[in-house]
Structure 1
Amino acid sequence: MAVRLSHPFLSSSLSFPARRRSLQICKFSVQNPIPRSIETQKLVLEVKEKLEIEHPSLPIGRNGRDDEDMILWFLKDRKFQVEDAVSKLTKAIKWRQEFGVSELSEESVKNIAGTGKAYLHDFLDVNGRPVLVVVASKHFPTNQDPIESQKLCAFLIEKALSKLPTGKEEILGIFDLRGFGTENGDILFLKFLIDMFYTYYPKRLGQVLFVDAPFVFQPIWQLVKPLLKSYASLVRFCSAETVRKEYFTEETVPADFRG
């Protein structure tokens, strides 16, 4: 689907800031390895061998072509079809290498994170999922570097996945749309997010909450929804009160959603 850049709601980047912590390089890896049967282990080794033969230049080690937990996750995503898993995993590993995901740190994203437009919440939701919160009204794509926004997004996703409790595989995304205006709209970055979760972090997003969406958000949603495909079913429009009552306890609810 082509997106016309002349649309009044299209800006160039939406981002996700993290709260400041001490300097920390992203050395995150897939948490909670999927239980393996003899058959799935054979498929993992088959993918691993194919990657070694067909893509020997890909990096090895954590999140590399020989990372068996990562291979198994992509096999699961591709319904254990070896060729499909190899293709998608190759794209993901190349992207990680070219984007420099392993070099991302609190320090490298601190400027864009300082806008306060997104962060990883300190607590899990009631379903035991790490929570990414996006404050859309603090995003001004015409004044912010889209690449820096993308780096922040990747950093936060990596950090969220590193916080997964045992037995959990998905994260929760909350888009706080209170105060959202046309100057905050950014189809291109939303498209980037879709690509991230479909290609590079498949099946890691368990649910997306669009909180108190104003009328001006509706045209953007109509443009984005077809791009989401199956991911559209993960989206729930709800109120701040719903977030507070259904997804957190009084002690764990994000400060911006307290009553």
Structure 2
Amino acid sequence: MAFEEEVDDKNISETELSKIPLMRAFVESKDPSAKEYDDLTIRRFLRARELDIEKASSMFLEFLKWRSSFVPNGSISLSEVPDELAQNKMFMQGFDKKGRPITVVFGARHFQNKVGGLDEFKRFVVYSLDKLCSRMPTGEEKFVGIGDLKGWGYSNCDIRGYLGALKILQDYYPERLGKLFIVNAPSLFMTAWKIVYPFIDKKTKEKIVFVENSTLKSRLQEDIEEDQLPETYGGKMPLVPIQNC
């Protein structure tokens, strides 16, 4: 998508308009593969680094390097994440009131992958994020997540996995997370949360909302219409495994 088609976007500032071509020229001079990415992608990296061209360019060039080595075929195939998919822990369905696609992750179904290891889990994260991005309607760049921790226990605690997923989200998919609702969180989870929390950047922290069980449906419905809300939270939308979307 050419950026010129988006200049009327009310969320674009004059400063961004002036800095995007400057950053593009710089990153393309360092890595010609940057030409494959549209200006909206450049803008997301700029925003992630407070419109600092030098920092945003460094972040983007690192992303290009990572993408070419970790996703050499351009996408992650189902055959690369079989054990992660078998856990049946991630679903996609519906859109929130802003038109952002919704994903639901059940934390109690996640276990450290003893076959594919951490690398397969990271591939699964990339597979899932790419799926979410592909479902975004024109003009939308973010998604909404519901992290359901009902039944979560020590056997589900995977600090290395959590930190790996966090790094991928923050470093390689900046400005993609719109909001993350954490629901049904047991007190036991807070031990793991205290370990992970310092690694979450400020912008991401602002998008995380812990929801009390007593207000679960009403709070979710502030952002999601009932016909788009998952059935498990009192809505009308059935959950669909991510690989079937």
TM-score, normalisation: structure 2: 0.78
Aligned residue runs from structure 1 range 79-94, under 5 A? 79-94=50-65
Match among 29, 47, 64 for residue 23 of structure 2: 47
Gaps of 5+ in 1: 1-27
Q: Partner letter of residue 110 of structure 2? A: H
Q: Partner letter of residue 224 of structure 1? A: V
Going from structure 1 to structure 2, the CA distance change for 1:181 and 1:98 (only over 3 Å counts) comes to same
| CA distance in 1 between partners of 2:222 and 2:18 (Å) | 42
Match among 121, 143, 150 for residue 171 of structure 1: 143
SS of 2:189's equivalent? helix
Going from structure 1 to structure 2, the CA distance change for 1:255 and 1:105 (only over 3 Å counts) comes to farther
Going from structure 1 to structure 2, the CA distance change for 1:185 and 1:70 (only over 3 Å counts) comes to same
1:224 corresponding residue in structure 2? 196
Check the 8 A contact 2:93/2:103 in 1, yes or no.
no
1:62 corresponding residue in structure 2? 36
Aligned residue runs from structure 1 range 184-195, under 5 A? 184-195=156-167
Deviation at 1:38, TM superposition (A): 7.8
Deviation at 1:184, TM superposition (A): 0.2
| CA distance in 1 between partners of 2:191 and 2:218 (Å) | 24
Match among 206, 211, 224 for residue 248 of structure 1: 224
1:156 corresponding residue in structure 2? 128
TM-score, normalisation: structure 1: 0.75
| CA distance in 2 between partners of 1:109 and 1:142 (Å) | 10
Which structure has greater helix proportion?
2
Going from structure 1 to structure 2, the CA distance change for 1:204 and 1:226 (only over 3 Å counts) comes to same
Match among 191, 203, 206 for residue 233 of structure 1: 206
CA RMSD for the aligned pairs?
2.9
Going from structure 1 to structure 2, the CA distance change for 1:60 and 1:181 (only over 3 Å counts) comes to same
SS of 1:123's equivalent? strand
- How many residues matched? 225
1:201 corresponding residue in structure 2? 173
| CA distance in 2 between partners of 1:251 and 1:100 (Å) | 36
1:137 corresponding residue in structure 2? 108
Say which is worse superposed, 168-177 or 41-50, in terms of deviation.
41-50
Q: Which has the higher contact order (CA 8 A, sep 6+)?
A: 1
Check the 8 A contact 1:132/1:156 in 2, yes or no.
no
Q: Partner letter of residue 43 of structure 2? A: L
Q: Partner letter of residue 96 of structure 1? A: R
| CA distance in 2 between partners of 1:71 and 1:99 (Å) | 20
Provide Cα deviations, 1:161-203, integer angstroms capped at 9, x if missing partner: 2222233332111111001011001111221222122211112
Check the 8 A contact 1:77/1:202 in 2, yes or no.
yes
Structure 1 stretches of at least 4 aligned residues deviating more than 6 Å after TM superposition: 36-39
Check the 8 A contact 2:80/2:120 in 1, yes or no.
no
Going from structure 1 to structure 2, the CA distance change for 1:88 and 1:255 (only over 3 Å counts) comes to same
Identity rate of aligned residues, in percent?
26
2:48 corresponding residue in structure 1? 77
Check the 8 A contact 1:43/1:82 in 2, yes or no.
yes
Q: Partner letter of residue 151 of structure 1? A: R
Deviation at 1:133, TM superposition (A): 1.3
SS of 2:225's equivalent? coil
Deviation at 1:147, TM superposition (A): 1.4
